[in-house]
Amino acid sequence: MINQSNPPFVREPFLKGYLSHEKNLSPLPKEVDVLIIGGGLLGASLSYYLAKEGVEVLLLERDEINREASGTNAGSFHFQIALHQLTPNMSDKEKSRLAAEVKLQVDAAKLWDNIEKELDADLGVFFDGGIMVAESQEEMRVLKDKEEIENSAGLESHILTGDEMRTFAPYLAPDLAGIAFCPREGHANPLLVTPTYAYRAMELGAQIRTGCAVLSVEANSSTGASHRFKVKTNRGEIYCHRIVNATGAWATDLSSQLGLNLPMGLSGLHVNVTEPREYFLKSMIQHIGRRLTLKQTHNNTFIIGGGWPSHPESYPKRYSNYWSSTTGNLAVALRVLPMLKDVKLLRTWTGVWAYTKDFKPILGESSKVPGYHVAMVPTGFTLGPMVSRMLAEYISADKPIHNIPQEFSVDREVLK
């Protein structure tokens, strides 16, 4: 059995301060070059990358930084192919499409590799690999396809079964059909990543205002106008050249004001956290056929999630949890890691998950409304910083560049 842990280890606070409350609440400037709406991971990291390029940027957040999906997800990296994309007996065409996506994930992994150095902060980043378990022979076949695609795209993964599996991961239920181990998988602390990006952005000159809600956006159609957009907020009006909608789950609200229809849907995600126990689980665990992510954090707690549903509410009410999501999710966790049975569940939480209907990011400038950009990613935690950097390159380029894949287009039509 797992032993009770010593008191959680004491961390040195890595940032002396957080954001400045006075500055957050100070009046808005009259005008700005790039206005970013939404203080989640995308908004904060984009502010950082733009400020680093010397672009004048203002980030508006209606509540506080990192309060929604960016801070309520379970912090997993999803470099391996997401299970909702895998089917038994995939065609070669499907496999090569997935391989292209894996390449994007490999790039994201490189960014996460360096992020603590880049931001000079401890963000709870672990790169200790990920285990994907299979219970049945059918699941094993999917696991093998996944390994083949990933290896072809440059993402290392290995299949282990039988005694080999039991020796490699003795804590797993011994009767699992097999596992895939991806050494590049990992996780980070979602409570720290976004605030740190925001803090570093501010140091680089980005302006940040919290408690500032955008009420309406008007595009200026008259040619020769000094500014393309007039934005009304609860704290007054502001003019800007370019807008980035980084409002995540609420991206459709703002876009529809400009006549744009984003191919998005919303869902709630349930997460469980346990009391701390002695650290032993280095690798994150997922299940190829069922909804499970399971990891042990810096603070020695176990975070158990994987996409179980929660009850949606309208802003500003928080989503609420379903009891059945807890009991079901924990049962899958125990099936895979039986030694958790005596560990106590401490708390659950939930947040919104915004996804696109084709599971691809929405990224870039709209061709219908020039100057209006959207940054929205379904696996936002894993890919968020990387797509932000991509968009920052696009926005800060002196000459027009085409660095964003066409399939991420803001104006794409997605069949339901």
Partner 1 sequence: MAAAASAARHGVQVALIDERTTFGGQIFKRLGPGFHLADPADLGNDYSRGAQLIEGIDHRLITLFNETLVLTIEGSTVITSHPRFGVRNFSFNNLIVAPGAYDRPVVFPGWTLPGVMTAGAVQTLVKTQQISPGRKILFAGSGPLALAFSAQLIKLGAPVYKVLESAPFPSPLSLARLALNVGGNLDLAADALRYQSILLKNRIPFLYRRIILKAEGDGRVESVTYGKVDRNWNLIPGSEVSESVDTLCIGYGFFPSHELLRLVDCSFSYDENKGGFTVDKDRWGQSSIEGIFAVGDGTGVTGSYSAVAQGSVAGLRIAHLQGKLSESDLERAARPFHRELAARNSFQKALNKVYSIKPGIYRLADKDTVICRCENIKKSEIDPIVESTDDLSVIKSYCRAGMGLCQGRNCQRQIAAMISEKHGKDLSEINFATPRFPVKPVEIGLIADPSIQEEKYFIT
Tell me how far, at minimum, the Cβ of 288 lies from partner 1, in Å.
8
**Tokens at residue 80, please?**
């391996």
Tell me how far, at minimum, the Cβ of 331 lies from partner 1, in Å.
4
Q: Which is nearer to partner 1, 22 or 398 (CB)?
A: 22
Q: Long-range contacts made by residues 388-393, C-beta under 8 angstroms, separation at least 24? A: 388/41, 388/42, 388/45, 388/46, 388/48, 388/49, 389/45, 389/49, 389/111, 390/363, 391/46, 391/49, 391/244, 391/363, 391/364, 392/46, 392/49, 392/50, 392/52, 392/53, 392/55, 393/49
Q: Which is nearer to partner 1, 136 or 403 (CB)?
A: 136
Q: Which is nearer to partner 1, 255 or 350 (CB)?
A: 350
Q: Which is nearer to partner 1, 111 or 345 (CB)?
A: 345
Tell me how far, at minimum, the Cβ of 162 lies from partner 1, in Å.
22
Q: Which is nearer to partner 1, 31 or 275 (CB)?
A: 275
**Tokens at residue 103, please?**
């390449």
233-257 residues labelled b (16+ CB within 10 A) or e (exposed): bebeebbbebbbbbbbbbbbebbee
Q: Which is nearer to partner 1, 30 or 311 (CB)?
A: 311
Tell me how far, at minimum, the Cβ of 83 lies from partner 1, in Å.
5
* DSSP state letters, 182-193: ETT--B--HHHH
Q: Which is nearer to partner 1, 96 or 327 (CB)?
A: 327
Residues near partner 1 (CB under 8 A) are 7-8, 10, 13, 15-21, 24, 64-67, 71, 83-88, 138-139, 142, 191-192, 195, 210, 274-275, 288-291, 299, 307-309, 318, 321-324, 326-335, 340-349
d(CA 124, CA 115): 11
Tell me how far, at minimum, the Cβ of 242 lies from partner 1, in Å.
28
d(CA 59, CA 208): 5
d(CA 65, CA 63): 7
d(CA 328, CA 351): 18
Tell me how far, at minimum, the Cβ of 215 lies from partner 1, in Å.
22
Tell me how far, at minimum, the Cβ of 311 lies from partner 1, in Å.
10
d(CA 361, CA 356): 7
Tell me how far, at minimum, the Cβ of 302 lies from partner 1, in Å.
9
- Cβ–Cβ < 8 Å for 119, 69: no
Give the residue ranges of DSSP H helices in 74-161. Answer: 92-119, 137-152
Q: Which is nearer to partner 1, 262 or 271 (CB)?
A: 271
C-alpha distances in Å from residue 83, one per residue of 80, 118, 135, 227, 316: 9, 31, 14, 45, 32
Tell me how far, at minimum, the Cβ of 307 lies from partner 1, in Å.
8
Q: Which is nearer to partner 1, 315 or 370 (CB)?
A: 315
Beta 264-274 vs 320-321: how paired, if at all? unpaired
